Chains A and B, each alone.
Chain A
Amino acid sequence: MKRSLISLGALLVLALATLLLSPLFGMEFIPLNATGQEKEILFGIRMPRVFCAFSAGAMLALSGMSFQALFRNPLATPFTLGVSSGAALGAAIFIRFGLAFSILGMSGTSMAAFVGALLSILLVYGLTKLKGGFSTPTLLLSGIAISFFFSSLILFIQYISGLTHSFRIVHWMMGTLSTADFPKLWNLLPFLGVGGLLLAFLHREMNLFMVGEDIAISRGVNTGLVKKLIFLAASLMVGGVVAICGPIGFVGMMSPHICRLLIGADHRFLTPATFLFGGIFLTLCDTLTRVLSGWSGGAELPVGVLTALLGGPFFILLLLNRKGGLDL
């Protein structure tokens, strides 16, 4: 417990440092005491972007963590369950038909992506329930089936789209934070607030789900209700992020794993650690894309491409080194 607290403290310091220092880096370094236009870039553009990246990373990581615990499977993150393809399908349909409106400052594409994300989760949930019980293999298989089906629909929509629309769809699917600003941050934060708070109160239940549903019931967990709450929290968070930033992969799967190695599996400490780690990780990745574009002088690399590039090798590393690390 002492070790967990120390690790948690270290993560907190790291998170504060990341939030404070990341805005300084980008295509050009801007010192904290900048004035004029540079000050405007620092506080008006980079700062909200950094906070967006942090919240998005934290939410992706938390939703991954809660699903991994709920389904006792390291692969059962919302992304593997078809959320990103659902969101992408929503966005693709929206972009293809060139609709444009916004509600409460959220763009139509975001709304469509959000609806797509929630629909895919509901569909996977329903399919699994239809099959009786809540077996993890059924859940993963229905997630994969839905993913493939939606992906082919996206391909179909791209096929019937013109070049411009098709490019916009592909670009959206890469996931980026380059357009993050204050309105987007205000859109993200409620998802983080609701989802994060729910999960913070459910740490004991997540521990029990992680060791087995039968044990959870026998300890007095109202498993039906808690399952729905965890589903709700994770779906809201991941749906919110994907809608606003596009599908940014691997953060949700990787962060909880690394935190379990760092801090142990008790969700009392794992939840805040995952929150911090996911935030730090995505913020650093996003900062790296800004710095890289400064060096190359070219367009910014979408952060989703970077996380996926880092995520693949990381996973292979985990797989080769598995000493109970991958086993939840």
Chain B
Amino acid sequence: MNKAIIQIKDLTISFSGNEILKGVSLDIGEGEYVSIIGPNGAGKTTLIKCIAGIYSDWKGAIQIDDQPYAKLTSRDLARLQSYVPQAEGRTNPLTVEEFVATGRYPHLSAFTSMKQADYQAVDHALELAGLTDLRKRKIATLSGGERQMAFIAAALAQETKILLLDEPSTFLDYRHQANVAGLLKSACRENGITVIAVHHDINTASECSDRIHAIKEGRLAFSGTAEETLNPELLKTIYETDFTTTPSPHRPLPFVSLGGQP
């Protein structure tokens, strides 16, 4: 693993008496693509939101770029990492361009307006996400896939070292799944951005990840490379259902499907 850019120690958080995370400790290497998997209600989203600074009343310690969270203002944190939330329940009356420009927020003060560099960052993000032609459109009129690209573009315009995503390809059709995966992969491989994504689909997760962390009932169940993780017995321990692996002609890793061996 590369040098750790995020170090989480004993992260615990409760909501109205319910412990959602129960002492999670893990390190995330700089420039790596890391997936978080686990069953519904395991605490994946909660973990991402703790890292993103959205939840702040946790116990334990999180360090980012060697700095503890307590020392960082919300603006400092937003210059280090950006966040793409789950797709459900988004309403957004802005145009694509206006929304992507919100990514520049941590780089601006109340008394300055967008500079050349800010406009360039917005243009660049739009281009990467393939949204240049749609920039004047209202987000509300886009398809689910285009909308997801707009949310990722806004996070890219934030120009952070770390990109957090909560189920970036859920609810998308195949082409848009491929687009999102390609965009994230190139952000990670070509620009050295650390990508941390919650994935529901184990094949998507394994395809691009350097490392996978599996969470169950608020605890880290296991961590490993994609190869180590694609193991029916291991997966059964978190999802409580049977899996089969089949060799795939298209990729070095086997393909996981639901159901036991016949």
CB within 8 Å of B: which residues of A? 72, 132, 201-202, 204, 207-208, 210-212, 214-215, 217-223, 260, 264-266, 324, 327-328
Of chain B, the residue at the smallest CB distance from A211 is: B92
Interface 0/1 of B81-115, CB less than 8 Å to A: 11101000011111100110011011010110000
Contact of B82 among A210, A218, A327 (CB under 8 A): A218
Q: Is the CB of A327 within 8 A of B94?
A: no
Cross-chain pairs A/B with CB under 8 angstroms, 16 sampled: A132-B16, A201-B111, A204-B105, A208-B102, A211-B90, A211-B91, A212-B90, A218-B81, A218-B85, A218-B164, A219-B106, A220-B76, A222-B74, A265-B93, A266-B95, A328-B91
- Do A207 and B98 touch (CB < 8 A)? yes
Whether A217 touches B53, Cβ cut-off 8 Å, given contacts A204-B108, A207-B102, is yes
Query: Which of chain A's residues have a CB closer than 8 A to the CB of B79?
Result: 220
A267 and B94 alpha carbons, distance in the complex (Å): 10
A4 to B230, CA, bound (A): 53
Asked if B78 lies at the interface with its beta carbon under 8 angstroms from chain A, I say yes
Q: In the bound complex, do residue B85 and residue A215 qualify as a contact, i.e. CB atoms below 8 Å apart? A: yes
- Tell me the smallest distance from the CB of A147 to a CB of chain B, in Å: 25
Interface size on B, residues (CB 8 A): 36
Contacts from B to A (Cβ < 8 Å)? 16, 49, 52-54, 73-79, 81-83, 85, 90-95, 98-99, 102-103, 105-106, 108, 110-111, 138, 140-141, 158, 164
B155 to chain A, nearest CB (A): 8
Contact A219 B105 (CB under 8 A): yes
Q: Considering only CB atoms, which chain A residue lies closest to B76 in the complex?
A: A220
Provide the bound-state CA to CA distance between A208 and B108, in Å.
Answer: 14
Residues in chain B near residue A201, CB distance under 8 A: 110-111
Quote the shortest CB–CB distance from B90 to chain A (angstroms).
7
Given known contacts A208-B105, A324-B140, A328-B93, is B110 in contact with A222 (CB within 8 Å)? no
Of the candidates B83, B110, B111, the one whose C-beta lies within 8 Å of that of A214 is B83
Shortest CB-to-CB span from B140 to chain A, Å, is 5
Closest B-chain residue to A73, C-beta based? B91
Question: With A and B bound together, what is the CA distance between A222 and B85 in angstroms?
Answer: 18
B148 to chain A: closest CB distance in Å? 14
Given A217-B52, A324-B140, A327-B140, 20 additional A-B pairs, CB 8 A: A132-B16, A204-B110, A207-B102, A210-B92, A211-B99, A214-B83, A214-B85, A217-B74, A219-B82, A219-B158, A220-B74, A220-B75, A220-B106, A222-B75, A264-B94, A265-B93, A265-B94, A266-B98, A324-B93, A324-B141
Q: What residues on A are CB-neighbors of B102 within 8 Å?
A: 204, 207-208, 211, 215, 219
Q: Which residue of B lies closest to A223 (CB)?
A: B74
With both chains docked as a complex, state the minimum distance between the C-beta of B24 and any C-beta of chain A, in angstroms. 20
A210 touching B105 by the CB < 8 A rule?
no
Chain B residues lying within 8 Å of A327, measured Cβ to Cβ, are 91, 93, 140
B18 to chain A, nearest CB (A): 13
Chain B residues in 8 Å Cβ range of A260: 93
How far does the Cβ of A208 sit from chain B's closest Cβ, in whole Å? 6
Q: Does B94 contact A221, Cβ atoms closer than 8 Å? A: no
CB distance from A93 to the nearest CB of B (A): 38
Which 3 residue pairs of A and B lie closest in terms of their CB atoms, listed nearest first?
Answer: A220-B78, A218-B83, A220-B106
Name the contact of A210 in the complex, choosing from B16, B76, B93 (C-beta under 8 A).
B93
Listed residue (B74, B95, B111) with the most chain A CB atoms within 10 angstroms of its CB = B74
B91 contacts across to A, CB distance below 8 A:
72, 211, 327-328
Give the most central of B85, B105, B158: most A CB within 10 Å: B105
* Neighbouring A residues of B90 by C-beta, 8 Å: 211-212
When distances are taken between beta carbons in the complex, the residues of chain B under 8 Å from A266 are 94-95, 98
Q: Which A residues lie within 8 Å of B140 (CB)?
A: 324, 327
Chain A nearest Cβ from B74, distance in angstroms: 5
Bound together, the chains give a CA A193 to CA B234 distance in angstroms of 64
Chain A, Cβ-Cβ closest to B164: A218
Min CB–CB distance A175 → chain B (angstroms): 29
Instruction: Kindly report which residue of chain B lies nearest to residue A219, judged by CB atoms.
Output: B105
A301 to B236, CA, bound (A): 74
Closest to A260 in B: B93
CB distance from B36 to the nearest CB of A (A): 17
Q: Is there an interface contact between A218 and B54, defined as CB atoms closer than 8 Å? A: yes
Which residues of A lie under 8 Å from residue B94 when comparing CB positions?
207, 210-211, 264-266
Bound state CA distance, A208 and B82, in angstroms? 14
Q: A214 CA to B90 CA in the complex, in Å? A: 11
A265: B residues at CB distance < 8 A: 93-94, 98
B54 touches A214 (CB 8 A): yes
Q: B138: which A residues are within 8 A, CB to CB?
A: 324
Q: How far is the CB of B115 from chain A (nearest CB, A)?
A: 14
CB distance from A6 to the nearest CB of B (A): 15
Q: Which chain A residue has the least Cβ–Cβ distance from B80?
A: A220
Give bound CA distance, A327 to B110, whole Å.
Answer: 28
Q: Which residues of B contact A264 (CB under 8 A)?
A: 93-95, 98
Q: Considering the complex, give the chain B residue whose CB is closest to the CB of A210.
A: B93
Which residues of the partner chain B approach A218 to less than 8 Å between Cβ atoms? 52-54, 78, 81-83, 85, 164
B231 → A minimal CB distance (Å)? 34
Interface centre among B16, B102, B106 (most CB of A within 10 A): B102
The smallest beta-carbon distance between B91 and chain A, in angstroms, is: 6
Contacts of A207 in B (CB 8 A): 94, 98, 102
Distance (whole angstroms) from the CB of B234 to the closest CB of chain A:
32
Closest to A324 in B: B140
